[in-house]
Chain A
Amino acid sequence: MKKTLTINLGGLVFNIDDDAFVVLKNYLDTIKGYFDTSEGRDEIMTDIESRIAEMLTEKMNGGKEVINSNDISEIISVMGQPEDYIADDLDEEPKRQQSYSQQSNTNNSYSQQSSKRLFRDTEAGNIGGVCAGIGHYFGIDPIWFRMAFVLSVLFLGTGVFLYIILWIIMPEARTSAEKLSMRGEPVNFENIGKTVEEEMKNVKKKFSNYDSEGVNQTTETIKSGVHQVGNFLLSLFKFAFQAIGKILGFLFLIFGGLILFALVIGIFTPVDQIFFEAGGSEYGYSLIEISNLFFPSGLDFWLTIAGVILLIAIPLIALIFAGATMLFGVKPPKYTGIALAGVWILGIIITAIGGIRTSVEFKKDSSISEVVTLNEFPSDTIYLDIYNEKELNSGNKYRHNEREPFMIKDGILTIEDVEVNVLETNSDYPQLEIIKESNGRNYEEADERAENIDFITNIDSNTIYISPNFKVSSKDKWRNQSVQVNLYLPNGKTVFLPKSYKHIIYDIKNYHDTYDRNMVNMFWTMTDSGLISPEIMKRENSEFEVDQEFEKVEINIKADNEEHSIVIQ
């Protein structure tokens, strides 16, 4: 029993069985593929169809009711194989012939086995036939893909970008075989299953052929049994690998596409709208503002940005290509790999140029130092505190937790890169050393920049106020400027480190090896053994259950040492 279809050929109605229909349709489609619309394809096809209809009518007159594949083969032998159309059509480029013959060898030309591939359908398409091709591939009306593309254009032109990429990677369906495999059966699970089944059959067939060449009958049967199981597993693995490949390809496409999408958004966002939030700050800084501080010129900024974008985008595009190849089996154009690699190397070069031009600006570093001897300091104890304009101006309590790494306002860059250290001196008086440092293309430039650092300290009775930040004109740019404040204490003098110095003091060496952040809110006394905190000393001593007077520790260091040795004994 066979299914019968009703077709209209040359204006006449015929009953044709399923197999014959497929053969006839493939035949007509194949021939159709050889002609361009410009050379009157439709007319030629109508003529051919009319002639076939005429011949079929003759056959029907013999009392037949249904056309079968034998009838169709007869008609094809009269009308000519598709190859014959090519042989007589020498205007066609020879390339087409070649690709056709290749296709016909592997694909058995217009037979029923046509595996589906992704092609651009330039005839049905509006622009490059991308949507029409995708539509053919999934067996869906291309209008949906067109709508998706148009919609995605609204997202900062992603659609245009994606369309161009697909245009490049999807080959155009030129030969009829390509057009056939483009229009072939829709790719769905049923068909995938069918393909696998067929493949397994093929492998089995191949194997039985191989076996028939074998010598020994008994081993042959065992062999074939074993091999059939083996083949089954083999094709199972093959299918599994293909499936994994498809999934990987899909993931590649999705990830590559998404990241590229993000990148495109990044590119199309006006740079002056990119803001960086300084921690806890009400101010935001635009990328332009920051890059002006960092890059020697706008050119360097754009070079570096363009280079970095290329460096990121090219591997993503490669990923999309790989994904498309794995998923749809489309091969990217011949020199895609080389072109991508070339552009990527260009990206490296551009980034390197921008980077080198910028890093040269940091080549030399220089520092200037200035020492103040505090010979009129009234007391033995020096209090350190934060110098703060706000506090001085308004009398408000200084809130030291609101620290900002840097701030730009009115062309002035405020940087919090001040380090305070406490060191020992042989001098009779405490000394305050301020070291301003900067980098530059050469020493002169670095020197000038260091000198331009606007840093405030203020000495008021027994307190030294040190600003937690310094100011630099944004014309000087950010060239790793920093300020180091060294307080030199003579033996026996004491300094008080306030709580607000938690992040300002840096690596102060002390007798107890206490960390910086634990040193604040304490008095520290300079001794022969380094800085000692009476408070910590008291705590440690009480642990050893030695009841010791505060002042005693402070004054008699030697005695203190002896006590320690006693405890150890």
Chain B
Amino acid sequence: MKIENTKAQMRKGVLEYCILLFIKDNELYPSEIISKLKESKLMVVEGTLYPLLTRLKNAGILTYRWEESTSGPPRKYYSLTPIGETFTNELSGTWKALEQAVTFAQKQSK
């Protein structure tokens, strides 16, 4: 059992949830998502976002539309599907429960 694995596991679940939260409010293209993630220090490198987005898209949670860009290749703008919205809401519920559980656990350990 490596500490990195645990960290990565923790981060991974949260990462998906955060991405969904970002997209929920407005359409975003990957670079924008990345800059938000970087701000929140959830993601360090960009490359790993793409597999994640593709997976979410394949799962029917995200959808995208193409938009021409002046500074390079056309961009994919991602948005939530109806499924994605319910999914995000469910995750919000789960997150609350988790938050409570973790807070409780932390208090107990003090």
Residues of A bordering B, CB below 8 Å? 10-12, 31, 35, 39-40, 43-44, 47-48, 50-51, 53-55, 57-58, 61, 77-81, 84-85, 87-90
**Interface hits, B68-94 → A, CB 8 Å:** 69, 71-76
**Complex contact B72–A84 (CB within 8 A):** no
**12 A-B interface contacts by CB (under 8 A):** A12-B72, A40-B55, A44-B51, A47-B50, A48-B47, A50-B72, A50-B75, A57-B72, A61-B71, A78-B46, A88-B11, A90-B9
**Complex contact A31–B47 (CB within 8 A):** yes
**Complex contact A90–B73 (CB within 8 A):** no
Q: How far is the CA of A51 from the CA of B75 in the complex (A)?
A: 9
Q: How far is the CA of A47 from the CA of B34 in the complex (A)?
A: 13
Task: Kindly list 14 other residue pairs between chains A and B, CB separation below 8 angstroms, not including A12-B72, A84-B45.
Answer: A39-B51, A44-B50, A44-B54, A50-B74, A50-B75, A53-B72, A54-B69, A54-B72, A57-B71, A58-B72, A80-B46, A80-B47, A80-B48, A84-B44
Total A-B Cβ pairs within 8 A: 80
The answer to whether B106 has its CB under 8 Å from any CB of chain A is no
Using CB atoms, name the residue of chain A closest to B15: A88
Residues of B bordering A, CB below 8 Å? 4-5, 8-9, 11-12, 30-31, 44-48, 50-55, 57-58, 69, 71-76
- Residues on B with C-beta less than 8 A from A87 are 4, 8
- Residues on A with C-beta less than 8 A from B46 are 51, 78-80
- Residues on B with C-beta less than 8 A from A58 are 71-72
Q: How far is the CA of A43 from the CA of B12 in the complex (A)?
A: 21
Using CB atoms, name the residue of chain B closest to A48: B50
- Pick from A47, A81, A89: contact of B30, CB under 8 Å: A47
Q: How far is the CA of A87 from the CA of B58 in the complex (A)?
A: 21
- Residues on A with C-beta less than 8 A from B53 are 47
Are A90 and B12 CB-contacts (below 8 A) given A51-B31, A54-B69, A78-B46? yes
Q: How far is the CA of A53 from the CA of B30 in the complex (A)?
A: 14
- Residues on A with C-beta less than 8 A from B45 are 77-81, 84
- Residues on B with C-beta less than 8 A from A31 are 47
Q: How far is the CA of A57 from the CA of B74 in the complex (A)?
A: 12
**Complex contact A53–B73 (CB within 8 A):** yes
Are A90 and B30 CB-contacts (below 8 A) given A11-B73, A54-B72? no
Using CB atoms, name the residue of chain A closest to B52: A88
- Residues on A with C-beta less than 8 A from B5 are 90
- Residues on B with C-beta less than 8 A from A89 are 48, 51
Are A85 and B51 CB-contacts (below 8 A) given A39-B58, A90-B5? yes
Are A51 and B30 CB-contacts (below 8 A) given A44-B51, A87-B8? yes
Using CB atoms, name the residue of chain B closest to A80: B45
**Complex contact B54–A40 (CB within 8 A):** yes
Determine how close the nearest CB of chain B comes to the CB of A330; give it in whole angstroms.
31
- Residues on B with C-beta less than 8 A from A35 are 51
- Residues on A with C-beta less than 8 A from B51 are 35, 39, 44, 85, 89
- Residues on A with C-beta less than 8 A from B47 are 31, 48, 79-80, 84-85
Q: How far is the CA of A80 from the CA of B31 in the complex (A)?
A: 14
Q: How far is the CA of A31 from the CA of B51 in the complex (A)?
A: 11
Closest 4 CB pairs of A and B: A80-B45, A54-B72, A79-B47, A10-B73
Q: How far is the CA of A392 from the CA of B72 in the complex (A)?
A: 109
Q: How far is the CA of A81 from the CA of B57 in the complex (A)?
A: 24
Using CB atoms, name the residue of chain B closest to A11: B73
Determine how close the nearest CB of chain A comes to the CB of B4; give it in whole angstroms.
7
**Complex contact B72–A10 (CB within 8 A):** yes
**Most chain A CB within a 10 A radius of its CB, from B5, B47, B58:** B47
- Residues on B with C-beta less than 8 A from A81 are 45
Using CB atoms, name the residue of chain B closest to A49: B73
- Pick from A51, A57, A78: contact of B50, CB under 8 Å: A51
